[in-house]
Amino acid sequence: MTSSDYLVLGSGIAGLSFALQAAQSGSVTVVTKKERSESNTNYAQGGIASVLAPDDSFDSHIQDTLTAGDGLCHEDAVRFVVERGPEQIHRLARWGVEFTPSIAGGWDLGQEGGHSHRRIVHARDMTGREVERALVQCCRDHPNIQFRENHHAVDLLIHRRQTGPGVCFGAYVLGPDGGVEPHTARATILATGGAGKVYLYTSNPDIASGDGVAMAYRAGAEVANLEFMQFHPTCLYHPFAKNFLISEAVRGEGAVLRLQDGEPFMERYHPLGCLAPRDIVARAIDAEMKRSGADHVLLDITHQPPAFVRERFPAIHARCLEFGIDITRDPIPVVPAAHYLCGGVRVDSRGRSTVDGLYAVGEVACTGLHGANRLASNSLLEALVYAEAAALDAHQWVSLAPAAVPAEADPWDDSGTTDSEDEVVVTQNWDEIRRFMWNYVGIVRTDKRLCRARKRMDLLQEEIVAYYRDFRVSPNLLELRNLALMADLIIRCATNRKESRGLHYNLDHPDRDDAHWRRDSLVRRSPL
């Protein structure tokens, strides 16, 4: 058994920035499924939204966020994040993040869909990679932070009290040798990212299997708004291009969405055209593809000077060249893909879940900032703000942690299980879930499609639960278990919401219903 003051599950911007601040007051262990730099953060291209220009304002950023969130944002959470934005950007710079400078001085600021001003600070089109590089370096050099790479959290350690909520005191962790050991901690922080791999087409890396939400739900924490999965409008369409995103910043610099015959179409859907909020752009592309039978649309930035395109988007330019597409001369074939989970583990303004001792920061959390649709480039900002708030509160919790919380945990019990010799069951169920989630619970939904998904999910859940009970855990089995629960929760939330709002669009309920549905979807497991 191992122990630390703070156990951080996940190594993206939320987990690492929390670790750096918590390490000032105690020992931190960061558990990550792959290498420490493998996270959704590492794949973020566009940048971080913050009010940094003299002609911009907090009120403008707040209003843009509220508009994108389609009536479901918590205004107090929006103000909390936006007003703390500039100090977080400067903190990243102090930690060594090298943002792209402006010729006129200061940092270059981009513009993306839904924003009324240029306020996206970036490191060209590799912002996430640069942020991850700097944070990993800072954490590697800190004596109070240790990493456990290629380790998988299995379930949270929960101490059940006679009254009130349970208390989290760590997690069972699967090591690379196949053994499961408890890791106790006085504060446990979920920073596990999103759940894009629940869908067939996604911009997310393979690690995004909804682990944190699934573990929190099984532990009794409240989760919220899981029907709001954001589909990024523009992922590269190519048979050999896996999960490659074409940043929204490309449209921010003037790229135009066109049909395959060259006709622009976004002006028919929204006054902002190609800079409309993501939910509108994704649905417009989906509608045009279904109308014409095309398998993709085109994103065209060829009217911009080639030198500017290569300088502003070096990674996108280089990656597309690998597939024979020169974006300075050729329109880019694109399709929508699952990108960002706007719901998650419900937390308060200090990152606290409804289970004592358990915090959630980053994409795994539902803070109220995003509402029914995330405004572009607000996610990394949210992760920074709530990581700081959670670190401050967790310090207080650790210093006052109740004596009733056990210092040790029961050993992992895998008696009666055997090693699986039939991994095809895991891969078959994984593929089936992702395919019917894409077809039935995707960009456009209907009651009938959701009903079909629910029936199929009920059968698969029975099969997966039985398989988990009979065989020793493996990384693939853990991800399948979490993916299946995540899909089930998304279906339940989507089925219950009888309206269309933001990212949830149901043809049987096409209108927004503020009288009945201007509220969060809350789900909690029944007490054991």
Active site residues: 278
Tokens of 61: 């950023």
Name the 3-class secondary structure at 398: helix
Q: Is 17 left (phi over 0), alpha (psi -120 to 50) or beta?
A: alpha
Rounded to an integer, what distance in angstroms lies between the CA atom of residue 95 and that of residue 137?
Answer: 9
Name the 3-class secondary structure at 299: strand
Strand pairing report for 229-236 and 256-258: unpaired
Number of H helices, E strands in the chain: 16, 18
CA angle at 33 for the pair 95 and 424, rounded to the nearest 5°: 155
Rounded to an integer, what distance in angstroms lies between the CA atom of residue 177 and that of residue 419?
Answer: 13
Q: Is 341 left (phi over 0), alpha (psi -120 to 50) or beta?
A: beta
Nearest to 363 by CA among 337, 332, 334, 384: 384
Q: How far is Cα of residue 11 from the mean position of the Cα atoms in its chain?
A: 13
CA angle at 43 for the pair 88 and 331, rounded to the nearest 5°: 120
Rounded to an integer, what distance in angstroms lies between the CA atom of residue 63 and that of residue 60?
Answer: 5
